[in-house]
């Protein structure tokens, strides 16, 4: 009564599933290694311009966000302005007043 039914194909199916799981594991490990390599290469890429150490903000302004364009820096302040600087972070090119929508 406690005997399990015998299936002639069971060892072949188990071997196939083991091969499938091993292949999937190797593929996933290779994918993670490739992703890590791409991220490391991107961060170490030459030609990237770092942000300046300091940005000359107007008196009383605090930066809430910063972005870099090809030849400018954009700083969003907490008092509702967008300041566009040269890449040196010292020369102000343009100031944009942001008005609340409504």
pLDDT at 48: 64
Ranges in the chain, pLDDT < 70 = 1-9, 47-49, 102
DSSP code of residue 79: T
Task: Give 73's strand partners.
Answer: 68, 85
pTM: 0.53
Helix (H) or strand (E) holding 23: helix 10-43
For residue 44, what pLDDT is reported?
A: 79
pLDDT at res. 65: 92
């Amino acid at each position: 009564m406690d005997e399990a039914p015998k299936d002639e194909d069971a060892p072949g199916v188990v071997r196939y599933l083991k091969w499938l799981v091993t292949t999937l594991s190797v593929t996933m490990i290779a994918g993670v290694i490739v992703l890590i390599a791409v991220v490391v290469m991107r961060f170490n890429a030459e030609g990237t311009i770092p942000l300046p150490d300091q940005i000359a903000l107007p008196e009383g302004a605090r930066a809430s966000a910063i972005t870099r364009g090809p030849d400018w820096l954009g700083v969003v302040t907490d008092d509702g302005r967008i300041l566009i600087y040269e890449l040196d972070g010292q020369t102000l090119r343009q100031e944009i007043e942001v008005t609340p929508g409504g």
